[in-house]
Amino acid sequence: MPARSSTERVRLQNSMLVVRALRRGGRLSHTEIADLTGLSSATISAITADLEHGRVIEKQESQATTGRGRPRMLFAQRRDSCYLVVIIISSEAIQYSLVDYGGKLIDQFSQPREAGGVGSFLTVIRAALERLAQRSKITPSEVRAISISSKGLVSTDEPLLLWSPVLGGEQVDFAAGLQPEWTAKVLLSNETLLVADALAEQHERKEGTRFRSLVTLSLGHSIGLGIASRGGTGNIDITAPNFGHMLHMPSGALCRCGARGCIEAYAGFYAILRNAFEVPKDTIPAKFVPLPEVDKLAASARHGHRMANFAFREAGLALGYGLSRVLSLNGLMPIAVTGPGARHYDLIRGGLEEGLSQAQIVRMQGLPAISVVADEPLLVFEGHLDRALAVMDEEIIMAGFDRTAG
């Protein structure tokens, strides 16, 4: 691609400012876009005209609140410009969602996850994508991006699932696996990274530049961690270190990943049940534990059952020790506890705070703020939209400039 002139770079940057303002603010008037972007009226007029011509945005009339005078002209994304598919993979099911370019949910359904290897796994996903398109009467070419999430370890460079609780060490190349029918850009994210993204977006909307950082801790069948922090450029950087498989105890309990002594091997649902029922630590972990079974154990712990209480406390200690290392490396940050296991936070709290207090930064500055945040699935979905629609915006604007240049 030829190098862009300084004028083209400025136009591209300004166009992205306008699109991002609309993405964040919803329907906006010419004046509101100017206030949010700092661009001149003439620049906004030129950019919005180009974006309208490229079918990226459209004008919409809004009647004045008084019912008098001329309607206000507002700009918004053109919803039928293109579409996004969101695929959320969990231990027991896969959820499929179709979203228009305006960020509105059009269709959604879930299917139980079937046993089998990578080949059958991808076959099921391709069939579900075809069903999603047929139900909404769109073609695969109208889908601009497919955003996928899973627990586990994902590549930072390509949509490659390296390890997951669902398929273990069987790697999945989603981009190659969905072709040739689906040529949309494929995005793959760790699930807890999306939770951190969604919570950071919520905090930034409320606090603006005063928001600095947070940690999200997801409790359940797997243990996930996301970190959101404001970088030197002022942007929010999101990472998801492989926290659940950090070492907690050398030569310790057997983990689902095949190693011994991981944090998950003490804090995941299967680990809590294993400890409570005094099952040998080298017993092969269950791939999936129904949540009602863990809830029954939690009820026993709240009624004073000694081994049930011990199991939840051990989980808290493993999490707290791990978090103490995270804060030692990254500084003191508020912690948001999410996931299906967050309902048992009262039982792990003592152990978690004890483990956290081992960090010097905590001993000097006190415990970080810890909150329990409900509805993790909604946060995952919001994280998908935030990241995927931003990528789609940039690709659409870049493609428009390339066509103009060509």
The string of pLDDT tens digits covering residues 90-109 is: 888 999 999 999 999 999 99
Mean pLDDT calculated for residue range 316-321: 98
Q: In this structure, what CATH number is given to the domain that contains residue 388?
A: 3.30.420.40
Residue 256 in domain: yes
Residue 1 in domain: no
Domain end, chosen from 20, 49, 77, is at: 77
Q: Which amino acid is at 211?
A: F
Query: Could you tell me how far CA 12 lies from the centroid of its own chain?
Result: 27
**Integer Cα distance of 357 and 345 in angstroms:** 17
Share of the chain above pLDDT 70, in %: 95
Query: Quick one: 116 and 165 in the same domain?
Result: yes
pLDDT band at 390 (very low <50, low <70, confident <90, very high): very high
| pLDDT in the model for residue 343 | 96
Looking at the structure of the chain, the number of domains it has is 3
Query: Quick one: 238 and 357 in the same domain?
Result: yes
Domain end, chosen from 61, 77, 93, is at: 77
The string of pLDDT tens digits covering residues 12-58 is: 889 999 999 999 888 899 999 999 999 999 999 999 999 998 889 99
pLDDT band at 333 (very low <50, low <70, confident <90, very high): very high
1 has a pLDDT exceeding 60: no
**Integer Cα distance of 176 and 182 in angstroms:** 9
Query: Quick one: 135 and 120 in the same domain?
Result: yes
Query: Quick one: 85 and 72 in the same domain?
Result: no
Is residue 265 within 8 A of residue 279, CB to CB? The reply is no
The encoded tokens of residue 1 equal: 């691609």
Name the residue among 84, 51, 79, 81 with its Cα closest to residue 401: 51
Output the pTM of the full model: 0.90
Q: In this structure, what CATH number is given to the domain that contains residue 56?
A: 1.10.10.10
Q: What are phi and psi of 76, to 5 degrees?
A: -155, 165
The string of pLDDT tens digits covering residues 115-129 is: 788 999 999 999 999
The encoded tokens of residue 374 equal: 């409900």
**Integer Cα distance of 347 and 312 in angstroms:** 6
**Integer Cα distance of 84 and 77 in angstroms:** 14
The string of pLDDT tens digits covering residues 359-384 is: 999 999 999 999 999 899 999 999 99
Residue 406 in domain: no
Residue 19 in domain: yes
Query: Quick one: 299 and 179 in the same domain?
Result: no
Is residue 72 within 8 A of residue 60, CB to CB? The reply is no
| pLDDT in the model for residue 69 | 59
Q: Which domain holds residue 286?
A: 194-376
